[in-house]
């Protein structure tokens, strides 16, 4: 019987593990330089933790089970509820703003598709304890900072920014009431992904009046603050809407000042399907729009309260590894991740295995990545193995000394073995 990996999961052979580590290391490096600190939580949580935010139907969308004690548990499909639980547990002792990041392994029981898997890694950035739009700007900047470090330019990726309060106000003006608001938001979220006729059917089924669709689409199609201001003076004069527009204007200004405004654009078709978003929302896409969202997030000021905590300002985003990997590959931005050794130690004469082992031990203790051949064989074969292992240098040991060979240039320096072992970094640079 032959066994295969579960559908929607991945085997990380060394080359793929190198890519996974590259993404995680970049995420961590960017997080730290932007002032975030790392946290993590358990892979298993009580199922109720996720149903509080998303309702009981969430159970069919994740991996859940009942343990031997009769407790309903789930493998985490996202880290945000865990974040809320952990922050609530120490809310009075944590200095604010709380700037945390994580790179969790997540699980979702869904149909695997391109860029969407059952098991994946996700970079999460969150700021809790700030009501300022500056916190939203910091999160968006951090996402762009990462993408920019990976070599992606404004012609490669775009951050599309919307407003949940303005979208809700537009739906209310269209005649949608509170009882159908969540379904209407979910319908609007589908608009960019389906044909106009299909969207109209979805929208009406969700409770959006058919005669208001043109007006609603006109709102979503506004690409600038000026276009929005010209839309409907009565709609825009309401205090809450004015505040939401001011937040968007401030956000775009901050992003310009921080030097990333050319990556961003206003787009009211960005809704974000989850109901807990309360303010600015955004998604990151490849510029051509041919892939799923690379990242998505926004402000969620009510989330901690949902989990029994206080009402605290919060904002953040998540970026998955699956779509990001596809995007980097398509843009030719994946780095050369071929691992290698600093030095491959070779016994150039018979009877020198002990010297080889001594040299390897000394080199490793000195912080140099070193290895040797498992077989006692000719120097030529060992050199081939050194090249296959991507070693930068070969140290060829003989009774009268060591030949330190640069495998890229072919240059060789001969030194006494004691001198080489005393100061190996003088020769392996």
213 pLDDT above the threshold of 60: yes
Q: Over the chain, what is the mean pLDDT?
A: 92
| Domain locations in the chain as residue ranges | 14-41+79-330, 343-426
Cβ–Cβ under 8 Å, residues 315 and 126: yes
Give pLDDT tens digits for 121-140. 999 999 999 999 999 999 99
| Mean pLDDT (whole number) for 195-211 | 91
Distance CA 117, CA 33 (A): 30
pLDDT the model gives residue 27: 98
| Mean pLDDT (whole number) for 172-200 | 88
Residue 206 contacts by C-beta under 8 Å, 6 or more apart in sequence? 180, 183, 184, 186, 187
Strands 72-75 and 295-299: unpaired
pLDDT the model gives residue 141: 98
Give the Å distances, CA to CA, from 265 to 221, 236, 279, 320: 12, 20, 16, 21
234 pLDDT above the threshold of 70: no
pLDDT the model gives residue 53: 63
Q: What is the 3-state secondary structure (H, E, C) of 303-371?
A: HHHHCCCCCCCEEEEEEEHHHHHHHHHHCCCCCCCCCCCCEEEEECCCCCHHHHHHHHHHHHHCCCCEE
Distance CA 34, CA 51 (A): 32
Cβ–Cβ under 8 Å, residues 189 and 271: yes
The residue ranges of DSSP E strands in 95-207, in sequence order, are: 98-102, 105-107, 119-128, 157-163
| Mean pLDDT (whole number) for 285-313 | 93
Q: Per the CATH hierarchy, to which homologous superfamily does domain 14-41+79-330 belong?
A: Bira Bifunctional Protein; Domain 2 (3.30.930.10)
Cβ–Cβ under 8 Å, residues 395 and 403: yes
Q: Pick 203 or 238 by higher pLDDT.
A: 203
Strands 370-372 and 401-406: unpaired
Tally of helices (H runs) and strands (E runs) in the chain: 16, 17
pLDDT the model gives residue 235: 63
Residue 149: how many CB atoms within 10 A of its CB? 12
Fold for domain 343-426?
Answer: Rossmann fold (3.40.50)
DSSP string, 369-428: -EEE-SS---HHHHHHHHHHTT-SEEEEEETTEEEEEETTT--EEEE-HHHHHHSGGGT-
């Amino acid at each position: 019987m032959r066994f295969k990996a579960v559908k929607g999961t991945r085997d990380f052979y060394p080359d793929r593990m190198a890519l996974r580590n590259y993404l995680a290391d970049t995420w961590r490096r960017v997080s730290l330089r932007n002032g975030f600190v790392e946290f993590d939580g358990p892979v298993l949580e009580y199922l109720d933790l996720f149903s509080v935010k998303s309702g009981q139907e969430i159970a069919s969308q994740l991996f859940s089970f009942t343990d031997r004690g009769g407790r309903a548990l789930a493998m985490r499909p996202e880290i945000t509820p865990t974040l809320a639980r952990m922050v609530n547990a120490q809310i009075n002792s944590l200095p604010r703003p709380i700037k945390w990041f994580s790179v969790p392994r997540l699980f979702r029981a869904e149909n695997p598709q391109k860029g969407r898997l059952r098991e994946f890694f996700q970079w999460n950035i969150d700021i809790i304890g700030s009501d300022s739009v500056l916190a939203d700007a910091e999160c968006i900047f951090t996402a762009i900072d990462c993408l920019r470090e990976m070599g992606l330019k404004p012609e490669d990726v775009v951050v599309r920014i919307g407003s949940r309060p303005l979208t809700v106000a537009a739906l209310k003006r269209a005649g949608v009431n509170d009882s159908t608001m969540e379904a209407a938001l979910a319908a609007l979220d589908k608009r960019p992904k389906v044909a106009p006729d299909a969207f109209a059917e979805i929208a009406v089924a969700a409770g959006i009046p058919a005669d208001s669709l043109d007006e609603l689409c006109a709102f979503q199609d506004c690409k600038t603050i000026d276009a929005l201001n010209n839309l409907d003076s009565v709609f825009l004069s309401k205090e809450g809407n004015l505040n939401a527009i001011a937040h968007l204007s401030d956000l775009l200004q901050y992003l310009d000042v921080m030097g990333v405004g050319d990556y961003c654009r206003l787009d009211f078709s960005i809704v974000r399907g989850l109901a807990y978003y309360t303010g600015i929302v955004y998604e990151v896409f490849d510029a051509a729009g041919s892939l799923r969202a690379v990242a998505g997030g926004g402000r969620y000021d009510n989330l901690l309260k949902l989990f029994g905590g206080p009402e605290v300002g919060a904002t953040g985003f998540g970026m998955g590894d699956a779509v990001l990997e596809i995007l980097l590959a398509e843009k030719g931005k994946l780095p050369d991740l071929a691992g290698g050794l600093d030095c491959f130690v070779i016994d150039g004469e018979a009877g020198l295995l002990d010297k080889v082992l001594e040299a390897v031990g000394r080199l490793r203790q000195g912080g140099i990545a070193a290895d040797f051949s498992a077989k006692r064989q000719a120097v030529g074969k060992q050199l081939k193995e050194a090249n296959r292992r991507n070693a930068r240098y070969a140290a060829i040991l003989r009774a009268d000394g060591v030949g330190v060979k640069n495998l890229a240039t072919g240059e060789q320096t001969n030194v006494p073995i004691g001198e080489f072992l005393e100061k190996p970094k003088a020769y392996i640079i």
